[in-house]
């Protein structure tokens, strides 16, 4: 018994010794490899902005986020909301070197921005893009970023769900969002979500949390979406999107019954002067009606379909704009009073100020 006790004491001493070497588990080796290979492609972004207090005194503020190196020209991908409103941008590379950055292009519609630093190509290690279209629920997911300003942080989880929909600050829906339980916190925004091969399959953008910290529900913009806008942001500075030039309200069956309308659709609340709808002769609301606790515009044209495709919501109308090109003419079926009209409108690019 005494010999057995001695053996246990010796084993405990070995476990407690910092010099003791043990072999790594297979999943630990994967974690280490992914961090070793991908972390040098991840940067910390510090933003500086100036606001004004009640007495118009300048009040400086700072924020932080993450980003990924896209190429050896110094282009860095991050979230639009990370750099929105910033007066200056400072980027810290994995090796600790710091550079000022300039904004190259932004797409608020998918919450992506591209910034650029003037750094030697030898210091820049571009991230390897993966294919987000092949993701499966349950596969491993890895996030690298600067949560709460703590740079070079790795968290591990799984792909919790796919095909989520999230609304960007511009009001546009971002579809195909990846949900993960890999811990994402403020400061992780703009950093990569990686697969088990260390390839970027998403850009971490938001969390759902009642406590302003990770509770295991994080969201990433899929890599396919990022790739679709990156080159345009680099060459053009923005992504062209078409518009009809209206604001509208969704009218469902119950709303239609209360308003005395014979169809559902999008009721035009306002028409922007000089826009496609204005030039086509579409009409906005001329009064308001209270339905319970909701005020609904009335008297405007009710859009029922575009080129024969039924329209029920403003989101559907926005999505439909994606399949057309600037200068293309569409036929809009509207209900004006008791009459159904077919009105042609020539689509154009949405003004950048919107």
Burial class (CB in 10 A: 0-12, 13-18, 19+), 113: buried
Q: Which residues contact 254 (CB under 8 A, 6 or more apart)?
A: none
Q: What is the pLDDT of residues 189-207, one digit of tens each?
A: 999 999 999 999 999 998 8
Sorting pLDDT into bands at 50, 70 and 90, what band is 132? very high
Distance separating alpha carbons of residues 143 and 141, to the nearest angstrom:
7
Higher pLDDT, 266 or 1: 266
Using the predicted structure, report yes or no on whether residue 138 has a pLDDT greater than 60. yes
342 part of the active site? no
What are the CA-CA distances from residue 19 to residues 10, 13, 22, 26, 296 (Å)?
14, 11, 10, 21, 72
Distance separating alpha carbons of residues 244 and 350, to the nearest angstrom:
8
Q: What is the pLDDT of residues 14-58, one digit of tens each?
A: 454 454 456 788 889 999 999 999 999 999 999 987 666 666 666
17 part of the active site? no
Percentage of residues in the chain having pLDDT higher than 90: 64
181 part of the active site? no
Beta bridge partners of 246: 271
* Chain mean pLDDT for the chain: 88
* pLDDT value of residue 20: 45
Q: Which residues contact 235 (CB under 8 A, 6 or more apart)?
A: none
Q: What is the pLDDT of residues 165-188, one digit of tens each?
A: 888 877 778 889 999 999 998 899
| Active-site residue, from 64, 160, 189, 298 | 189
Distance separating alpha carbons of residues 110 and 107, to the nearest angstrom:
6
Higher pLDDT, 234 or 9: 234
Q: What is the pLDDT of residues 306-326, one digit of tens each?
A: 999 999 999 899 889 989 999
Q: What is the pLDDT of residues 69-101, one digit of tens each?
A: 999 999 999 999 999 989 999 999 999 999 999
Statement: 132-235 belongs to CATH 2.40.10.10? yes
Query: Which residues of the chain are in CATH 2.40.10.10 domains?
Result: 38-123, 132-235
Its CATH class, for the domain covering 38-123, is mainly beta
| Active-site residue, from 64, 66, 75, 111 | 111
Query: Which residues of the chain are in CATH 2.30.42.10 domains?
Result: 242-349
Distance separating alpha carbons of residues 83 and 226, to the nearest angstrom:
16
CATH for the stretch 242-349 = 2.30.42.10
| Active-site residue, from 66, 81, 107, 298 | 81
What are the CA-CA distances from residue 299 to residues 212, 260, 271, 331 (Å)?
43, 11, 13, 21
Using the predicted structure, report yes or no on whether residue 210 has a pLDDT greater than 80. no
* pLDDT value of residue 23: 76
Tokens 């390839």: give the residue.
199
Beta bridge partners of 333: 305, 342
Using the predicted structure, report yes or no on whether residue 218 has a pLDDT greater than 50. yes
* pLDDT value of residue 296: 82
């Amino acid at each position: 018994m005494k010999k057995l006790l001695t053996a246990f004491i010796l084993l405990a001493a070995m476990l407690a010794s910092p010099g003791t070497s043990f072999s790594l588990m297979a999943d630990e080796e994967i974690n280490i490899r992914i961090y070793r290979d991908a972390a040098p492609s991840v940067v910390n972004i510090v933003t500086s902005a100036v606001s004004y207090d009640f007495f118009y005194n300048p009040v400086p503020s700072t924020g932080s986020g993450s980003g990924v190196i896209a190429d050896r020209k110094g282009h860095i991908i991050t979230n639009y909301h990370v750099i929105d409103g910033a007066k200056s941008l400072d980027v810290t590379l994995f090796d600790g070197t710091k550079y000022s950055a300039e904004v190259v292009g932004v797409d608020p519609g998918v919450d992506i921005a591209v910034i650029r630093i003037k750094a030697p190509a030898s210091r820049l290690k571009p991230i390897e893009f993966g294919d987000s279209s092949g993701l499966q629920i349950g596969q491993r997911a890895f996030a690298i970023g600067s949560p709460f300003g703590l740079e070079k942080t790795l968290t591990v989880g799984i792909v919790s769900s796919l095909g989520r929909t999230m609304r960007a600050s511009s009001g546009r829906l971002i579809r195909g969002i990846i949900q993960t339980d890999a811990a994402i916190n403020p400061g992780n925004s703009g950093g990569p979500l990686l697969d088990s091969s260390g390839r970027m399959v998403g850009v971490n953008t938001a969390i759902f949390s009642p406590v302003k910290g990770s509770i295991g529900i994080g969201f990433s913009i899929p890599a396919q979406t990022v790739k679709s806008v990156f080159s345009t942001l680099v060459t053009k500075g923005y992504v062209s999107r078409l518009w009809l030039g209206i604001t509208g309200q969704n009218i469902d069956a119950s709303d239609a019954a209360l308003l005395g309308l014979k169809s559902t659709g999008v009721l035009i609340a306002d028409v922007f002067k000089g826009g496609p709808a204005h030039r086509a002769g579409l009409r906005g609301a001329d009064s308001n009606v209270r339905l319970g606790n909701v005020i609904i515009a009335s008297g405007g044209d009710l859009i029922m379909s575009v080129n024969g495709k039924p329209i029920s919501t403003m989101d559907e109308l926005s999505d439909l704009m994606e399949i057309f090109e600037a200068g293309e003419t569409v036929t809009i079926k509207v209900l004006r009073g008791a009459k159904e009209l077919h009105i042609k409108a020539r689509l154009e690019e949405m003004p950048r100020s919107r």
